[in-house]
Chain A
Amino acid sequence: MESVVGLLQLIINGAATGCIYGLIALGFVLIYKATEMVNFAQGEIMMLGGFAAYTFVGIFGMNYWVGSGLAVLATAAFGYLLDAVVLRRVIGQPQFAVVMLTLGLAFIFRAGAGIAWGYDSVAFVTPFTNSIVRFGDTLVLGADNLSIIFGTLVLCGVLYLFFSRTRLGIAMQASSQNQLAAYYMGIPVRRVFSLIWAISAGVAAVAAILLVPVQMVDVNSGIVGFKAFAAAVLGGFGSIPGALVGGVVVGVVEQLAGFYLPTGFQEVTSNIVLLAVLILRPQGLFGQVIRKRV
């Protein structure tokens, strides 16, 4: 009995971390599907989102919900401008240019955040900090981890409705699937792509805010981007549900490895998962093969 509860706790904690990976992976996938660019600065955008929330809630002393909302909006606006001003210029350049550019941006963001907010870890009090939820007699879970899982589910629901029900959401799908045809339909493709960057950045900010009760924000928070990258590849890089499932898988495997395997394994499991996927199932769990009829 003890061990079952313990295992369940491990899995839920892993799933919570995995949700964060999943949300960042979602940002990778959204941008990749639309513009065929891989944004290696995704983790750093999340870090900036965390600092933005810290600024509003921790420094200005705003209400948690208001401050978080503002932080998400600010990060989304930052994502929009990032595409409209910087990334749009490398469309049509070789993939390598995009990789170098986004990696470079990641360094700039890290340095910029260090200058603006300092190199110390910061955090602020959230409604979920240090409280626990009991299920029955034995199962005790942290409200922080549950809030991450719950928040991720809600966000995914909202995004699903947005992409499947609204005109703009469908236009985003359309522009991702066939850019030329989207131009023919009079869809303002460039603005749509910038909005996709805004959504990715906003989602990363939500991930950062959800993560605050578990882990403090510092300039190196963006490192999770690499684990999220493994999650995105696991899911099939191009599949939105795949990104989330991939994130949860990486999170849970990591947690279990940390418990059952010698120290040090936890940090490399995401890379082991990544390698295993590339060897065994290169298209990922949910990869779709696009065929075109002539």
Chain B
Amino acid sequence: MSAPLLQVSGIETYYGPIQAIRGVSIDVPEGKIVTVLGANGAGKTTILRTISGVLDADRGEIIFQGQSIAGQTPDRVMRAGICHSPEGREIFPFLSVAENLVMGSYTRRDKDGIAQDLEMCFGYFPRLKERAQQRAGQLSGGEQQMLAISRALMGRPKLLLLDEPSLGLSPLLTTQIFEIVKRINRERGVAILLVEQNAHIALQTADYGYVLEVGRIVMQDECAALLARDDIREFYLGHKDAGARGQRRWKKKKLWR
């Protein structure tokens, strides 16, 4: 088996004195969707920020296509082929939709390629084409999420970091967006590292999953296998087989370790 596209090994990241990531290792193979599940504050977003270079890891190594990218500046990481669709969308509210997308291709110089990718984004999200000249701040939450994903695609990534695409969206819209994420992965061969609170849809979309608890990976497996596990079903998917006893066990087993 060839080396994975992205290899994160043993990274530790701090916010000031607080250790958010306590030695996390994640592999993302070429062309696959990998998801990281976890509760609020488990450190999912921090992992993505560390990979894209906005935060620096204090320890550990990040290898992308055989090159170390740990400690690199965000524009270097982006040029290497990792684009980030951040949590909370973080669009540019007073720029038009089209200008937002062009900013996603800031590190690129190939005009034709940029024009092609713009059409590609409009192909995936026709709604954005209708609103191309509107200020991005006037879009609905779902449209802003589409814009954030498209803007990341404009960097023509080999690996897309996707942070909470379902945040604040209706279940219907969430399903639609994940359909398109799957299509992007299949049609463009873009590997995706997906961070998501909605474990149900994440496990259905991804190929491989990691479970993160308080900065540590506590479980990893194929998504199909994770979906079948009792504890995952109980804690993350809300299925309850054991009746009242399950509640008590949940308290005890809240943290694996």
Interface residue ranges, A against B (CB under 8 Å): 167, 170-171, 173-174, 177-178, 180-188, 290-294
- A residues in contact with B86, CB < 8 Å: 180-181, 184
Could you tell me if B107 and A186 are in contact, using CB atoms closer than 8 angstroms?
yes
With a cutoff of 8 Å between Cβ atoms, the chain A residues found around residue B88 in the complex are 294
Q: Are B79 and A185 in contact (CB under 8 A)?
A: no
Contact B141 A173 (CB under 8 A): no
Closest-CB distance, A169 to chain B (whole angstroms): 10
* A142 → chain B closest CB, angstroms: 39
Quick one: which of A173, A185, A294 contacts B151, CB cutoff 8 A?
Answer: A185
Contact of A183 among B74, B92, B167, B168 (CB under 8 A): B74
B93 contacts A173, C-beta separation under 8 Å: no
| Interface flag for B150 (CB, 8 Å) | no
Contact A177-B95, Cβ < 8 Å, known A171-B106, A187-B106:
yes
Total number of B residues with any Cβ neighbor in A under 8 Å: 32
Contact between B94 and A177, CB atoms less than 8 A apart: yes
- With both chains docked as a complex, state the minimum distance between the C-beta of B77 and any C-beta of chain A, in angstroms: 8
Q: A185 is contacted by which of B89, B106, B137, B167 (Cβ under 8 Å)?
A: B106
Contacts of A186 in B (CB 8 A): 74-75, 77-79, 106-107, 155
| 5 nearest CB pairs, A to B | A186-B78, A186-B75, A181-B90, A186-B107, A174-B92
Complex contact B99–A184 (CB within 8 A): no
- A167 & B106 in contact (Cβ 8 Å cutoff): yes
Give 1 or 0 for each of B41-85: 1 = CB within 8 Å of chain A CB: 000000000001010000000000000000000110111000110
Are the C-beta atoms of B95 and A187 separated by less than 8 Å? no
Specify which chain A residues have a CB less than 8 angstroms from the CB of B54 in the assembled complex.
180, 183-184
The interface bits of chain B over 128-157 (1 if a CB of A lies within 8 angstroms of the residue's CB, else 0) are 000000000100010010000001000100
Which of B75, B93, B94, B141 contacts A187 (CB under 8 A)?
B75
The answer, among B90, B93, B106, for a CB contact under 8 Å with A180, is B90
Q: A183-B74, A293-B137 are in contact. Are A177 and B107 (CB under 8 A)?
A: no
Decide yes or no whether B237 CB sits under 8 A from chain A: no
Q: How far is the CB of A175 from chain B (nearest CB, A)?
A: 9
B103 within 8 A of A: yes
Q: A184-B74, A186-B78, A294-B168 are in contact. Are A174 and B103 (CB under 8 A)?
A: yes
Give, as a whole number of angstroms, the nearest-CB distance from A186 to chain B. Answer: 4
B103 engages A170 (CB within 8 Å): yes
Return chain A residues, CB-CB under 8 Å to B103: 170-171, 174, 182, 185, 187
How far does the Cβ of A85 sit from chain B's closest Cβ, in whole Å? 20
B184 interface residue (CB < 8 Å to A): no
Q: Which of A177, A291, A293 is close to B92, meaning CB atoms less than 8 Å apart? A: A177
Question: Could you give 27 example pairs across A and B, Cβ below 8 Å?
Answer: A170-B95, A170-B103, A171-B103, A174-B92, A174-B95, A174-B99, A177-B92, A177-B93, A178-B92, A180-B54, A180-B86, A181-B86, A184-B54, A184-B74, A184-B78, A184-B84, A185-B78, A185-B103, A185-B104, A186-B74, A186-B75, A186-B77, A187-B103, A188-B75, A293-B137, A293-B144, A294-B88
Of residues 105 through 137 on chain B, the ones whose CB sits less than 8 Å from some CB of chain A are 106-107, 137
Known: A170-B99, A181-B86. A292 touches B93 (CB 8 A): yes
Shortest CB-to-CB span from B138 to chain A, Å, is 10
Q: Of B93, B103, B144, which is in contact with the most chain A CB atoms at under 10 Å from its CB?
A: B103
Taking the closest CB of chain B, its distance from the CB of A194, in whole angstroms, is: 15
The residue on B at minimum CB distance from A177 is B92
Look across to chain A and name the residue whose beta carbon is closest to the beta carbon of B78. A186
B198 to chain A, nearest CB (A): 16
- Contacts A167-B106, A170-B102, A171-B106; A184 near B94 (Cβ below 8 A): no
A170-B102, A178-B92, A181-B86 known; 15 other A-B pairs, CB under 8 Å?
A170-B95, A171-B106, A174-B100, A178-B91, A178-B93, A181-B90, A181-B91, A183-B54, A184-B78, A185-B103, A185-B104, A185-B155, A186-B74, A186-B155, A187-B75
Least CB distance from B197 to A in Å reads 14
CA distance A173 to B88 in the complex (A): 20
Chain B residues with CB under 8 A of A188: 75
Question: Chain B residues near A185 (CB, 8 Å)?
Answer: 78, 103-104, 106-107, 151, 155
Q: How far is the CA of A291 from the CA of B155 in the complex (A)?
A: 27
Q: In the docked arrangement, what's the CA distance between A26 and B17, Å?
A: 40
